[in-house]
Structure 1
């Protein structure tokens, strides 16, 4: 195998695995289970925020080849600094600990009955070991862990679909595409794209990857992004469809919390398709998928603060340790509690992240600083009602949002951002003449 093909496969597998974590494995099956006959429509919505936007984010990284700071610097350096700090704090406070919670609830507790504190302590100790050896992260994940994860997933999905009756129940969602789209927020993949994309950039800068030229890196990142995106698409669609078709065969117990429903469904699918061995396989799969994602998040956060503070290796180590300690503390919460905390945060930060990703992939003439500022400000303003509406909805707020298109679906920012983008893009060239 020539070096370019080898690097492409390693980078593609590594990127896939850094994306694929707790939410990516647990969310799709229950989404399909509740979607029933509408599972395809839910899948389309889910793919927009869980696959398309994140891969565009990777393409933006391929173009910028910098850090997360470069995503927002056209708005202003101050905005970008605040945005970066906020993103990395969110990443280490929610999705990273969530991987430990998922590992404990599905893989560790059913087998050993140990406390979540012990699980998260051992888990993040191992994460820290890998992060402090960051030059080997991409190679190790890409060569060993991800192929194993992919094979396990394809076994569960393939055998599951082949052995099921392919009968889906009546749907439970009124707007399946919107439900899928918003559920895609919970994967954190758009945020993951801007965080772990930087990890890929840094990893490629190490000599052992033998990729130095800008164009070579850009080509490698773009191709690996597309391959990882196709992998995510196949896995997500497979998990959603398996959840839909096993809806009549597996009792998830609606009286349980959502996280336990997700765990029961995924465990039931694994056992139904692979027998009791499926339960063991699921435990290993959950552990590996979550572990690689936690590594990517902590390494990306440590990389950013290292670059922010004079490229200090000491800062890298301290940041990694702090992120892992926070992971131990928050990781003791159950999976669903972490999701509930995440929702208002995502309703605020996800729209801005999506806008920054989309603007950074556009040609320069359509992504000027003026356009960046106008669109981001409008997106920020129209995201506020979504957050307030989730936390404490009032009659006045409901009346106000009734005049905003799609606001009832927590997407009130979409049309205003699009309108402002078009108007600013049309008006700006004319203003330059005066």
Structure 2
């Protein structure tokens, strides 16, 4: 019985940590764009928004207890650099400001049109700071209290929307493969793969504190809790994508926050705005608390305790509060190029450690795979920014799946296998 309760607590905590601002805003907007290709889009979004974050948690658990243990499978310095970049992205640069901006645009602005984002940001990050200052209570607080409330609101919204859809899915010119690409690349904006390798340390620490000290016990709880979180995420993501596809909105340039407000109003009527305000506040607050704790813990450890955890949490809240005033859409637009660069690198590390970590112990194959992913990701960012000429773009399109933002897959796999074979030959000699 205790084990089941612990799995439930950790699993719901994982769900709430992952399910933040982007996770609530992105799926309906994706549904709006893909017309009738709902199932293939849910599958694609699930790959980058659910399966890969689960692998991220698993890769850390297989390597040790924290992201440092995962990074050291490749290179100590690389782990520090990559960890720093990840923490800046999922912390004060992108994810944390987005949580407060979403809370204002969806949770506050519809009911208080004359309100200022400044005061919302101040209140939001004061609450975040108060909960984050004692990180040992985060998992239990999020898993046992806040997440059940969040799930009730979201399930109510989705259930009514499925039973009484506003309109049939719109038809558009997107092919099934185009819809798959939209779902896959939009999954980057959740930042969940980046967050997973950091959240893993918080989750594993909580699991060990509950008495599961051995590696086998720890991994079993991680897998079970991860599976529970993944099922919850799949149900919510799928439902929100469906609500977006059946919203009846034809204007695809509508703001993400406005679309969510419209869906909540048409689905739940006069109480829709209030219900979604509660959902937004809970989703964003739980994620903000987890991210702030992660930022403080990471840089405190990186500085060997020279910079205090409380100071780091305070600075993170201050910087995030300032950036959040720029608005959700501006933050998302700014985020895509850096995420398109960082994501393939982290995904490569996670996937190869999960699938080959037991058999390939040498660091060189992993380094080769990361170098290949980094090179392709760099050119992909140049494509996104429009800095490539047509002949250059035609050349790069010869890389398998490059036009679908998956050009890193084949080169990284080839580099990994080549160096793994070379290492085996060298060892044999």
Aligning the two structures, in what range does the TM-score lie when normalised by the shorter sequence? over 0.9
> How far apart are residue 172 of structure 1 and its match?
4.7
- Matched with 1:278 is 272
Give the superposed CA RMSD: 1.8
- Matched with 1:100 is 100
- Matched with 1:400 is 395
> How far apart are residue 426 of structure 1 and its match?
3.2
- Matched with 1:60 is 59
Task: Judge conservation of contact 1:97–1:330 (CA < 8 Å) in 2.
Answer: yes
> How far apart are residue 223 of structure 1 and its match?
0.7
CA distance, structure 1, for counterparts of residue 60 and residue 153 of structure 2? 29
- Matched with 1:35 is 34
- Matched with 1:379 is 373
Task: Judge conservation of contact 2:107–2:281 (CA < 8 Å) in 1.
Answer: yes
Bigger drift between 364-373 and 46-55 goes to: 364-373
- Matched with 2:189 is 186
CA 1:404–1:27 in structure 2 vs 1: closer, same or farther (change >3 Å)?
Answer: same
Instruction: Give secondary structure in 1 for the equivalent of 2:73.
Output: coil
- Matched with 1:171 is 172
- Matched with 1:343 is 336
Task: Judge conservation of contact 2:71–2:79 (CA < 8 Å) in 1.
Answer: yes
> How far apart are residue 170 of structure 1 and its match?
0.7
Instruction: Give secondary structure in 2 for the equivalent of 1:403.
Output: coil
Q: So what's the TM-score if we normalise by structure 1?
A: 0.93
> How far apart are residue 134 of structure 1 and its match?
1.1
Give the one of 323, 331, 336 matched to 1:330. 323
Task: Judge conservation of contact 1:34–1:172 (CA < 8 Å) in 2.
Answer: no
- Matched with 1:5 is 4
Instruction: Give secondary structure in 2 for the equivalent of 1:364.
Output: coil
Instruction: Give secondary structure in 2 for the equivalent of 1:411.
Output: coil
- Matched with 1:431 is 426
Task: Judge conservation of contact 2:60–2:69 (CA < 8 Å) in 1.
Answer: no
CA distance, structure 2, for counterparts of residue 360 and residue 306 of structure 1? 26
CA 1:255–1:297 in structure 2 vs 1: closer, same or farther (change >3 Å)?
Answer: closer
CA distance, structure 2, for counterparts of residue 36 and residue 47 of structure 1? 18
Bigger drift between 99-108 and 196-205 goes to: 196-205
> How far apart are residue 12 of structure 1 and its match?
0.6
CA 1:213–1:301 in structure 2 vs 1: closer, same or farther (change >3 Å)?
Answer: same
Task: Judge conservation of contact 2:106–2:260 (CA < 8 Å) in 1.
Answer: no
Q: How many residues in Structure 1 have an aligned counterpart in Structure 2?
A: 423
Task: Judge conservation of contact 1:21–1:289 (CA < 8 Å) in 2.
Answer: yes
- Matched with 1:219 is 220
> How far apart are residue 71 of structure 1 and its match?
2.1
Task: Judge conservation of contact 2:193–2:343 (CA < 8 Å) in 1.
Answer: yes
Bigger drift between 27-36 and 170-179 goes to: 170-179
**Does 2:11 match 1:18?**
no
CA 1:10–1:415 in structure 2 vs 1: closer, same or farther (change >3 Å)?
Answer: same
Q: How does 1:35-434 map to 2 (within 5 A)?
A: 35-92=34-91, 93-112=93-112, 113-164=114-165, 167-174=168-175, 175-206=178-209, 209-246=210-247, 248=248, 250=249, 253-254=251-252, 256=254, 260=255, 262-311=256-305, 315-362=308-355, 363-366=357-360, 368-395=362-389, 396-434=391-429
CA distance, structure 2, for counterparts of residue 65 and residue 128 of structure 1? 29
Task: Judge conservation of contact 1:35–1:171 (CA < 8 Å) in 2.
Answer: yes
Contiguous gaps of at least 5 residues in structure 1: none
